[in-house]
Structure 1
């Protein structure tokens, strides 16, 4: 943390950015005084995988998508996840941009909106989003997702998804079905929002 303070002083960051930076580091490290990357780099692949499965046990139990999926496929997936932290109001997914990953929400609350800003829902611990990007290459995001509070998420990139699910069509079909249902729901709400905005414009004429 001393290094972070020195960094902020050197960069002459304004108070609001300093506060966000401190919040991020305090949440990310939670007073841990060790270099996890150095420790894990010395472990065998098997031991590292065992530790990851234990670490992600709560996420595995809470994510409905993993239900009924072979354990080995779930293990392969969690070993490809990359942790990320988002602060309140951070945009995690932006509509109409090209996606190449999906997210699993470990803790926190996010808001999902249509491209024009109509709220679709709130997602909580154990939720996932962005799966359309894994199913279809160069597919534009169908919704915005932003953090309502500090959120800890795990990112699964398309390249890792393909490797993990290459031999498990059951998981791919399940994800495709969910992605299509969400796409239809978001499209319907977006059409309703556009009609509402048009009616507002007409009422002003």
Structure 2
């Protein structure tokens, strides 16, 4: 902007009628003063166009100034509108929470957990899940390709699925769901029936056994609960969120519905899962 003002001031000097009562520095300062007040649409009127050339030049500079301001205002408005949409999402849900509390009542601790969840969403500057919001706007073909691109690598982390066909991996990828947990949320408890497995994307989880207490900490890139996909089994530990944590979850029934399309592969996968379980228990 400063460079543009400099060159526009130089242009004005070239159109200035000859003057012997003024030095070059003063002439440049006056021209720069005229340029800035014209670009900023202030226009005090103390420096005016005297020739037709200056009049035409003034109109060009005015149009340039309007364009620059339009561009700046448009960018600022774009930034504010994005922030406003996230803020509006936050406040709308806080109002809904207040309405439910006043009409139906909720325990204070549950209210706090809901507020904590939306505080986290707000701090991340998105109105809901970024991924889900993007997918909701895409046609079916693009939605499928995006899901596969984002999720197939985490699926191949499961040893039993490492060498599975590409089509099977793609079908499973479309079944993954995003789940967010706040601190102290229990993902599942030891002894309950397993019906999902999870891939940890962000945050930290602790693994707890009744006999041994805390036995491990899970970090991004870890997965857990996979045996629930292959057999009817109870959870052998409790998983609790230490921080705000984001995961992909894969439902057992969705997984089995995909395997029905690949009966030959399903038997191989189940055998690999049993072998891994056997080696882990030894």
2:125 to 31, 50, 55: 31
How far off its partner does 1:165 sit?
3.0
Point out the structure with the larger strand share. 1
How far off its partner does 1:180 sit?
4.0
Equivalent residue runs for 1:30-69 within 5 Å: 30-33=124-127, 40=135, 43-56=138-151, 59=154, 63=157, 65=159, 67-69=162-164
Is the 1:165–1:171 contact (alpha carbons within 8 Å) kept by the matching residues of 2?
no
Are 1:159 and 2:253 matched, yes or no?
yes
Match of 1:188 in 2: none
Point out the structure with the larger helix share. 2
- Alignment deviations for residues 56-85 of structure 1 (CA, whole Å, 9 cap, x no partner): 366457x35454333222211121011111
Equivalent residue runs for 1:69-148 within 5 Å: 69-137=164-232, 139-148=233-242
Higher Cα Rg, which structure? 2
Q: 1:64 to 1:37 in 2, by over 3 A?
A: closer
Provide TM-score, normalisation by structure 2. 0.54
Cα distance in 2 for partners of 1:40, 1:119 equals 37
Provide TM-score, normalisation by structure 1. 0.72
Question: Which ranges of structure 1 fall in alignment gaps of 5 or more residues?
Answer: 186-205
How many residue pairs end up in the alignment?
182
Is the 2:152–2:169 contact (alpha carbons within 8 Å) kept by the matching residues of 1?
no
Match of 2:16 in 1: none
Match of 2:114 in 1: 21
Cα distance in 2 for partners of 1:34, 1:123 equals 24
Cα distance in 2 for partners of 1:150, 1:161 equals 26
Cα distance in 2 for partners of 1:180, 1:82 equals 29
Cα distance in 1 for partners of 2:120, 2:274 equals 34
How far off its partner does 1:146 sit?
0.7
Are 1:8 and 2:103 matched, yes or no?
no
Match of 1:178 in 2: 276
